[in-house]
Structure formats: structure tokens, C-alpha cells
Amino acid sequence: MTWIAYLGRRLGRALAVILGVLIISFCLVRLAPGDPASLMAGEAGVDDAQYIQNLRHSMGLDQPLAQQLWTYLRHAAQLDLGYSYRNQATVWSLIAERLPATLLLMGSGFLLSALIGVAMGVLAALSHRRRGIADRFISHAALVLYATPSFWLALLLVLVFSVLLDWLPAFGMASVGVELHGWRWVLDYASHLLLPALSLSFMFLALYVQLTRSAVLESLNQEYVRTARAKGLKPGRILYDHVLRNALLPVVTYAGLQLGQLASGSLLIEVVYAWPGIGRLLYDALTQRDYPLLLGVFLVISVLVVVFNMLTDLLCRVIDPRIGAGGQRS
């Protein structure tokens, strides 16, 4: 199968998945208890039935459910996600304002978990071959991290590094009321980012450790590694050129899945650290029954997950050319 045919088939599947997510999300949101018009009227101190009816009409909530779904899908196909009456702004503008913060948090958490997890996994595998104590220590530490709830670990980091030691800020993305420039501005953002990124990375770091450890141990026992040793190649070259190239394939596959999980896993971290991303925006939209904004965030998250999965498939094929376009070894 050619690259064009493969990309066309993957794109068709991606569009079908996004369409299914839109339909299911729309139905689930509409089935949830609560009425946005009644909630807005109650907050305004108005108890007039006609006023509530007018609000429902302006939001399109008085139409049949099928008509509302068709209208929403038609507008979404035109990249029109609607208008947030609670925030008095378009959904696109609200998401565009918060999306960079979420992508920054996701990218930082991904890099920390992948780099530290792969390095620790390789160290544990090499220690296992020598029957060293590092393998047991790293494996047990990874197990503890995997079993620890992320929200509890995030609160613990805030308590230790922000409250007790006062080393890092606990909330927000930057210092408020302070004008910084140059490296001071960069360091201020980095100090605010460190704790949320660590909390997000700990959710997946343990899996990287175990996955890399198993893959490296399996590769070390292969015939091509024994042949490389028999040729007299240096251990470092064997590790980088022969072991890691084959061992990283399942790690890359999981990395793509992790990127999709990060898009949804960042919600809890953003709420704990008051990080101004789309996760926090989703939480606010849910509590306010802001249907257009809620569906818009669902759409953006689903698109991110689908794109990350497609990039993972392409990267796996680049790393191992034996993988065919259908994702199977030829």
C-alpha cells in the first residue's frame, strides 16, 4: 500500500472517529441534568418564565434534539463552534486563548515522563543483567508512582515545595502584578510550570520505566546482539545502534497513546494548580452548563488525540521499515 493510500485511509478513519465523538458528546451533554437558561436566570435573580423561554430560544434549546444536533454538526463542519453566552465570546476565541497553555503543559509532561522513564528503564535493564541493586530500586519506585493517585501526588508536591520549603509557586502560570523581561520572564514561567509538569509526568513515567526495561532485556537476548558482541563492537555502540533501535518501537507506540491520554489527564492537574488551560476551561464550562463551550473543548481534545495517534503510526513506520502501511510487519 502506498503512502498516499495509507494516509487517505487513516484520514477517513480519523474523520469518522471525530464525527462519532461529536454525536456521542452532544447526546451526553443534552442528557445531563440542568438547564443553562434556568441557571443563568437564577444567577441573575430572575424568576420569569417568559424570560427563561426567551433565553432558551436564543440558545436554540427550544428546538427538537435532532434539529439541534443537525445544526451543530452543520456549523462544526464549517469550523463554527458557536457562541458562549456565559462568557460573551465565541467558543473559538476562548479555546484559542487557553490552548497554548495546555499544549505547553502537555509537552513538558510528555518530555519529562519519556526522557526520565526511558533513561531509568535502560538503567534498570542493564542493572538487571549485572544483578545490581539499581534494578530493584527503580522497579519498586516506579510501582509506587504508578499506584499513587495523581491528584494526591500533586497536592503533596504543593505542600512540600510550595508551603514547607517555599521553593516553587503553587498556582497559576506566571507571577501576577510583576513585569519581567528576558531570562527573568523565562525563569518565572519555568518555575510555575515545573510542579504541574512533574505531576502530569508521574502518571506515565512508571509505565515508561517498565516498558523500556522489558523491551531492552528482550533485545539484549536476541541473536543480533550476540553477533555484535562477537564482532567486538563496543558496548555503547551495541546499546545505541542495535538494542535501543528495536527496543524503542513499543515505547514509541505507547508514547502516542500517552499523548492522547495527556489531553484528558491534564484536566485534573490544571484544576489542582489553577493552570489556565482548556482543562480548566472544560471544568468551568461543565459547572456552568455552557453547552457550546463544553462541546467545543470535547472537539479539540478528540482532534488532538486522533492527530497524535496518526503521528504515532507514521513514526513507528519510520523507526522500523518492516512495518507495513497497515501497521503489520511485512
Sequential pLDDT tens for the chain (330 residues): 566 776 777 788 888 888 888 888 888 877 766 666 666 665 556 666 666 677 777 777 777 778 888 888 888 888 888 888 777 788 888 888 888 888 888 888 888 888 888 888 888 887 776 777 877 888 888 888 877 777 788 888 888 888 888 888 888 777 776 676 777 778 878 888 888 888 888 878 888 888 888 877 777 777 666 776 676 667 666 666 667 767 777 777 777 667 767 776 777 788 888 888 887 788 888 777 778 888 888 888 888 878 877 777 776 666 655 555 444 444
- With respect to residue 88, please indicate whether it lies within any of the assigned structural domains: no
User: pTM (2 decimals)?
Assistant: 0.74
What is the rounded CA–CA span in Å between residue 32 and residue 298?
15
- Closest Cα partner for 193 from 281, 97, 304, 269? 269
Q: Domains in the chain: how many in total?
A: 2
The CB density around residue 11, as the number of other CB atoms within 10 Å, is 12
Same domain, 289 and 226: yes
Whether 1 is covered by a domain: the verdict is no
Whether residues 30 and 102 fall in one domain: no
Residue 278: inside a domain, yes or no? yes
Single residue among 80, 105, 124 that ends a domain in this structure: 80
Q: Are residues 308 and 270 in the same domain?
A: yes
Residues 121 and 230 in one domain: yes
Round to whole Å and give the CA distance between 190 and 66: 47
Does residue 3 lie within any of the structural domains? no
Q: Domain check: are 186 and 69 in the same one?
A: no
Rg (CA), the chain: 24
Please tell me whether residues 239 and 296 are part of one structural domain.
yes
Residues 218 and 292 in one domain: yes
Q: Residue 262 is part of which domain span?
A: 97-319
- Asked, for residue 228, whether it belongs to a domain, the answer is yes
